[in-house]
Each structure stands twice: as structure tokens, then as C-alpha cells.
Chains A and B, each alone.
Chain A
Amino acid sequence: MKQFKKVLLLTLATAFFLTSCSNDDDMTTPVSVPLGAYDNGYFVLNEGGGSSVTNSITFVGDDGTTTEDVFRIENPDAEEMGIFVQNIFFDATRAFIVAGSGSITVVNRYSFEYITTISTDLESPRYGVIVNGKAYVTNNASFASVTDDFVTVIDLTNYSTSQVLIGNYLDRIAAVGTKVITTNNQYGSEHSVSVIDTNTLAVTDIDLGAGNTSNSIVVNNNDVYVLTGSGKFMEIDLSSNAIANTLEIPASILGTKNLNIDNNTVYFTSGASVYGFGLGDTTVSITPILTYESNSAFGVMYGFAVNNDVIYIGDAGDFASNGSFYEYSTTGDLLSTNVAGLGPNGFYFN
């Protein structure tokens, strides 16, 4: 939350600075004007199917109005964002949309106006994060090899790129201070996280123990937490590069994933259920906060986020038609039900 506010402040400052620079006539613009049509609300990323035209980004305004396919609306002539859009990450003014086919589309995060496309040093990219004006993006590289996986480093001033070879099967990524941490998960057989010092680009692996494949990572107040599919909630200590704490989630809760921390409450999912516990708790209740109805047992919880005490769930249905997304309160009350695009896999807040 604190971080969110900080980012928001920074965003406002930067955006105004840029606006005034780019156009002197705007000097008189009143302060209360939104930064763009998509300033106040959140995006639902719909990954799409095997065809590049099927992905989309849905915007939901604070007033609840939804706008489908905002990228296409704002940029009717731009090339498609790629195939299987995986992730969006932001800096103060820009949104970076990562497509698994090998590109990052850069747009203004508030107006969604197209800026550029980055396509060098990217091969099956997954997730990105920004540290000091540079983006770090995980790549699976060739599916035939687990030793070629790398992180792309993108200088966001000129979009030049380079690679840091890591070798593990890379997936999620998070940043704390000048370090970035990746979760490594070669279809469940890898069980480490890698820490990259962004100053030296030195890489250190931290073993989580056999069977403990991490599938989600959160940085909260400069503390790093990962969740494994085997039901372990771990805190990683980056000064000693070791596991600082492990909390065992009851074994009856299977296939734990989608770690989120919001207002000092830890959330995760199993099947169609959302569970929660207080940060610092030593036990986890087996009673879920909520269990939602899904038509398809297989596209359950495809996208998940908790933000400002609202739980967001994306359901991918059959992956061959529109999915759904839901908003729930943290006490499990359904707030809204909406139509998503194809394969809603994430929520991003503006």
C-alpha cells in the first residue's frame, strides 16, 4: 500500500513534468485532470489463444465501467501485441506489455498510446520488473533447453537490450532495492530462486529444497516472500541468500499458488478457493475466505490479485472463448461479475 502511494505520487509528478515539457500550451492544465482515459482503474490482461488477434486488455474504471480491447481502440493501426500476452509492468509513465512470442509493446500507461515495440534479446519472455530505469525480464528461451534461460536487461531511456544468462527455468520476477529475484520452475522439477545484483549482474541461486517449486513471489516492505506448489510460504533473506522462515500450509490444501500480500494479509489460492492469513501468523486456517463457482475445472484462478482489500479472480473458461472476472470483498462477498477476453491471466492497477 505504501509503495503503491509512493508510485502514484511519483507517477503524478513525472507525468506532469513530461506533459509540461512536451507542450507549453498545457502549462495552464488544472491539477485535477486525469492523466489519461485509463488513469483511475485497473487492467485485465487477456492472454489470447494461438492467434495474435485474440489477445486483449480490458480496462475497468473506478466507476465500474469496462472498456474492452483498449490497446486496439487507442492504436487502431499498430501491429498486434504478439501471441500469448503474459504480463504488464509499469514505470511512472509507461506500461510494458510482454508477449510470449518475443516482444514487449510499450504504451503510455494512462492514455495507452503506442510508443514502441522492443523485440531484441527476447525469447519466450515471461515477466518483467524495473529497477533504476532498467527493466529486467525473464525468458524461457528455447523450450528444448533449461540451460539457456536468461534475463533481458532493457535500458528504458533508449530501449537498448542485453542478456544475463541464468540457466534455470525462469518464471516470475520481483525487485527489492537493487536486486531482482526470479522464481525457477522447469515444470515443477526445479526448486530454486535466483538473485541478481543489478549493479554487478552477479547471480546467486538459493535452493528451496527438493519438491519446493516456487510459483509466485511478492516483495512486501522490502521483505521477499515466495509460495511453493507444495504448500510452503517462505521468506527469503537476501543478505544471507538463505530461507529465513518457512510456514507450512496444511497439507489438505493442495496446489497452492497465486501469492499476494495486501494490507498485511497474505492471500493464496487452491482450486477455486481463496485462503488468507495474517503476515506473521504461524498457522493457516483450512477454511477458505471464499470459493467461487467455475464452469470449467481447468481455467480456475487463471488470474488472481488482491489490491486495497478487493480480491480479483480471472477464470479462463475453456481457453477457446471469453473468460470471466470477478471482484470479491476480503470477507468473501461477490462484488461484481464481468466478461473478460480470452484467457484472463492478470490484473494491473493504475
Chain B
Amino acid sequence: MKQSTLFIIFVILGFCCMAQTKLDSIQKLDEVTLSDTKLKTFSNTQSVLKLSDSIIKKGNPLLTHLLNNNSTIYFKENGFGMVSSPSFRGTTAQQTAVIWNGININSQLNGQTDFSTVNTKIFDAIDVRSGGGSVLYGSGAIGGSIHLNNKVTYKNENTHYVGIDYGSFSTINSTYKGHFSNKRLSVNANVSYLQSANDYDYVNSNNTNLNGAFYSNNIGLNLGYKINDKNILKAYSNYYDGQRNFSLQVSTETPSKYKNRDSRHLIEYLGLFRDFTSKLKVAYLTESYKYFSNTERDSYTDGGVNTLVLKYDISYKLADNITINPIVDYTQSIGEGSSIERVKRDITGFNLLLKHTIGSRFLYEITTRQEVTNNYESPFLYSLGLKYEFSDFYTLSVNGSKNYRVPTFNDLYWQDGGNRELKPESSYQLELGNKFTYKTIDLSVAGFYNDITDMIRWLPTTTVWKPVNTDNVKTYGIESRLNIEKSINQHHLTLTSTYAYTVSEDQERKKQLIYVPYHKVTAALAYNYKRLSAYYQYLFVGEVFTQSDNNEKFNLNAYYLSNVGMDYTLGNTKSFKVGAQINNIFNHNYQSVLGRFMPGIHFNTYFNFNF
């Protein structure tokens, strides 16, 4: 695999000749407004799904619901608002990276992000990038990555947004977002509060969701200051504080709760010069949790990690059509907890990225990364992507990469059981993307193949549970997306749909991985007429196995859900929007985790006010 990829690199390098400039100014603009620019500059040969602000503003603020309804990612939820973990292209929860303004924020303790703890309302854009991206986005970018971005713009704004949602099970979310900017300074502030009693009745049962209440607070501030046209300073910060009770499976269970706090800070100094762009980033991330195994007691177990990231990134134009981009980064994490003695880990990474456009139709990009660390044996990571636009109608892209998921603090240092001999999980993958565009119809179909080895699993040994590099999983399948827009007079219709077929096979057992459905479909039909908009949303999740031997007795049935929603904009300046949604309109009884029932029909109303 490695050899053949290198061979392809040389063949492609042989082509280097012609030159053409394109989209230069747009890229400079992206550098100014976004921190995560690699999503645009080095993700040309992979599929990126953009979820716009208007989609984000509809519906409840949980990231898990936004993505479940709009992407091919499968989610496993321990009930509404409870722990939610993704399976992207048939991979595990630790193999999806969550990226906040360009920085990987998966927990250093357990390697994953709980998608129920991310409040989407405070972000300006959320993108889903399919496939490997460990060179650009680090550990866990195997199945794909989720990008949470805030924008820093300079366009003389002074706008405020207030959104209030009220829904079933006493769920309240209120969000404020303020944008202030002139030509040199940009201030983007946000506050969001979410709470829910979450005491829904189970469908066709006398039981109720017990001990499910949760709340969370989010505060964010994003600043930009243009010292002059060439030198820009940016600062992003976000603070999260939340508490969740863990809902009970059986009424006799001892009720427990979980509190966590995360803070994220990023300062970026950007220098824009004729042939090169220089970026210095300093990020400081903290995460901490307290788990109370009995809500009645004061005793808890806890853990936390503080991480410092330094990154120097210089993008240099060798020629008008060739960009070379070396990056050096250093990450230091210090973790500590009830079961982890204070421990520090340092990782230094050297990256080299190259993009070359040949003619107006062909480009290729190469990324490489080598880490130096004494915590684990770090593999050489790379990717190679090619894109060729055959015509306005059809574009082909090919991408191959090697990616990894590093052992977490828990994996390495947990007492007792932590295994310091662990290797990172690694994955070789290949994908072929086809994009068809006809008038206002966009269709993309990608086939992917992913060979993941050394997967880490905790197993009981004679005395304690211990993580070991054991499993080998191959995943392959098809991911497709359709987007159709149609306007007749003032009537606008949009149909978006995704479908994924996913095989994820454990190579030892020759069985499908648990909690990976073969089929998942999402579809949304939106209708707009003047100030009125309405939509219908459909979700189908195929049957999943919950036992490694695929014992059918414990399978979760396939389910489909339908949601409808409508909103209307009021006021002379269209500043006021009122809307309502009905979710699970057919009141289906479904579980996304065995023994965990999800809500039946439920409602949400929202008021959005811009001034």
C-alpha cells in the first residue's frame, strides 16, 4: 500500500508543468475570516458537506441531531440528550475527529467527543468532511471530521440575534449572538443556555425516562484585529459548562450524574505577504469532568487534561499554481484524575503539504506528517488526492491516505490497567469520488475502503481490565448525496438527501461491527414562499447488531422518523421569525442503543429575533 502510493506520487510529480492562477483572492479572504482554512485549501479531493447557518438555526441545538438528520453519520444515543457517539463510515466513536476552529477537540481522556454536549447554535458554519484527514486534523480523523467554525468578518456590522426555543419535556434553549465590526476590528460574541427536564414517556409503555435532566452553558468570544492589511491578529475562545443526569434503564438503578467543563482558547497571528502566508497559532484547551455514581452522594471520580498547542504554518507559492505548506506543531498535554496520576505528554509534528493545479481542470494534493513523541510509536502519515474535472457535468476525485488514532490518556495511564505499550490505531484508506452537476442538481457518489488495524479494545485480564491493540476491521461502502433546487416564480423547493451503505467487518470474527447499520438514509424537502418556509425531514436507520457474534436476538430494529416544521418571518425589516416543529410525527417507538428508548412524537417552537 505504502509503496504503491509512493509510486503514484512520483508518476504525478512527473506531470508538473503548466500554470494557471485561480481563486487567489478568495483564498486570502478565507484566511482572514476563518481559522480552519485547510478545509478549503487542502480538502479538494474529499467530500465536504456544509451545513448552513439557516439549517443550524432550525431544530434543537444538539450536534448529534443536526448531523443525524443531515449526514450519513450514524449515531448511537443513550436516550435523548444523553451520551451520543458517532460511527462515520463504519468506524468507532474515537475515529471521528471534532475540530473547533481548526483545532482537534476530541477528549484527550477518552478520545471522543460526546455529540450531545456540543451546542450548534453558537457556530456560524458546521462542515462534515468525509474520510481520512489525520495529517491535517490529527488523531481520530479516520472516518471523517466535523468542523465547528466561527467567522471573523470586517464589514461594518452591528447586528444582534436572539433565539429562543421551547419544546417538549420542558426543553429550553436561548441563544444570543452579536456581531460588531468595522474595517479593522471584528467582535463576535455568543451565549447559549440549554436545559431540559427530559422526562418523556416511552411509547407504548407505562414507563417514563427517569433521571434524564440536563443543562449546559456556552459562552464564546471571537475577535479579529487588522494591525494593517498584512498583519492580522485573531482570538477565539469558548467556555462550556454542563451537567447531565444519566437516564435510567431500569427504575431500580442508582441514579448518577456527570458534570463537565471545557474551555478553548486560540490566538492566531496571520501575516499575508506576496508569495507566502505565515500563521502562528497558540491554543490552550482544558477539559475536566466529575462523575457522581450516586447523585445523592458528594463523592465523585474526576479527571482532566490541559493541552497547549503551538503551530507554525507557512504557505508558500512556488509558482502561481503550486503551493507548498510546511507546518511544525508542538502539543503538550498534562492530565490528572482519580485514576490517572499526573502525567505529561509531548508530541512534535512535522508536516509538509503540497497542492498543484495543472490547467483549469486538474489538481492534486499531497500531505505528509511525521511525529516525534516518546509516548507511542508514531507512524508516518500521508495522503494523496487527485481531482479531475472532465466537464462541467462530471468531476472525478481519488484520495488515498494513512491515518491514525492515538492511545488516550485513559488507555495509557489508567490505574490499574493502563497500557504504555499501546500503538496508535492505524488506517489505510482509499476513496473514489464522483460529482455530477446538472443545472441545479448536484449528485455526488463516493466509494470508500478503509483497512483499520491495531484497534484498541479494553479487555478483562486476570486482575484488571486492560486496553490492547487487537482488532482489525475493514470498512467499505458507498456514500452519496443529492441536492436539487427548483424555483417557480416565488416558490422555492430544495430537496437534499444522503444515503450510505456501510460494511464494517471485524476480520477475526468475519462479522459486521456492532452498532453499524448497513443502510442509512436522510432526506429533507424544504419549501419557501416569500416569508413562509416549511420542511419535511425523513430519516431511515437500518437494523443494527448489538452483539459481536451478530446474535439476532439482540438486534435493534430498523426505524424511520419523520419530522415536519414551518416558520414565518414577521416585521418590516424581516427581523422576527416564529416557527414550530413536530418531531417523530408517526410516534414510532425506537431505540438507538439496546434498552434505551427514544421519545415519541414531540414538539419544538422557536422565536428568532434579529436587530
Contact = CB atoms under 8 A, between A and B. Distances in A.
A4 interface: no
A53 B549 contact: no
A124 B293 contact: yes
Contacts of B338: 144
Contacts of A278: none
B461 A298 contact: yes
Interface in A158-201: 187-188
- B interface, by DSSP: helix, strand, loop or mixed? loop
B463 A255 contact: yes
Contacts of B547: 54, 320-322, 342
A130 B250 CA distance: 26
Interface residues of B, number: 33
A101 interface: yes
Contact of B416 (A51, A79, A187, A257): A187
Contact of B549 (A124, A187, A188, A321): A321
Contacts of A318: 459, 548
Given A54-B554, A187-B416, A321-B547, A144 B293 contact: yes
B253 A101 contact: yes
Interface string B584-611: 0000000001111000000000000000
A187 to B, nearest CB: 6
Interface in A309-330: 316, 318-322
Given A52-B249, A188-B463, A142 B594 contact: no
B299 A148 contact: yes
A34 to B, nearest CB: 28
A145 B297 CA distance: 10
Given A80-B249, A298-B459, A143 B548 contact: no
B546 interface: yes
A51 B297 contact: no
Interface string B127-171: 000000000000000000000000000000000000000000000
Given A51-B595, A53-B594, A102-B253, A321 B551 contact: yes
Contacts of B251: 79, 119
A258 B251 CA distance: 32
Contacts of A124: 254, 293
Given A54-B594, A148-B299, A101 B461 contact: no
Interface string A206-247: 000000000000000000000001000000000000000000
A143 B301 contact: yes
Contacts of A266: none
Give the size category of A's interface with B: 35 or more
A320 B301 CA distance: 26
B596 to A, nearest CB: 8
Contacts of A101: 249-250, 252-254
A117 interface: yes
B374 interface: no
B462 interface: yes
B554 A141 contact: no
Contacts of A319: 459-460
Contacts of B463: 187-188, 229, 255
Contacts of A257: 462
Nearest to A229: B463
B55 interface: no
Contact of B252 (A119, A144, A316): A119
Contacts of B300: 142, 144
A83 B301 contact: no
Nearest 7 A/B pairs, CB to CB: A103-B252, A321-B549, A119-B252, A51-B595, A320-B548, A255-B462, A51-B594
Given A51-B546, A99-B252, A102-B252, 19 more contacts: A53-B595, A54-B546, A79-B251, A79-B252, A80-B250, A83-B253, A101-B250, A101-B254, A103-B252, A141-B297, A143-B293, A143-B301, A145-B297, A148-B297, A188-B416, A255-B463, A257-B462, A299-B460, A321-B551
23 contacts: A53-B595, A54-B547, A99-B252, A101-B254, A102-B254, A122-B252, A142-B300, A144-B291, A144-B292, A144-B299, A145-B297, A148-B297, A188-B464, A229-B463, A254-B462, A257-B462, A296-B459, A300-B462, A319-B460, A320-B514, A320-B548, A321-B549, A342-B547
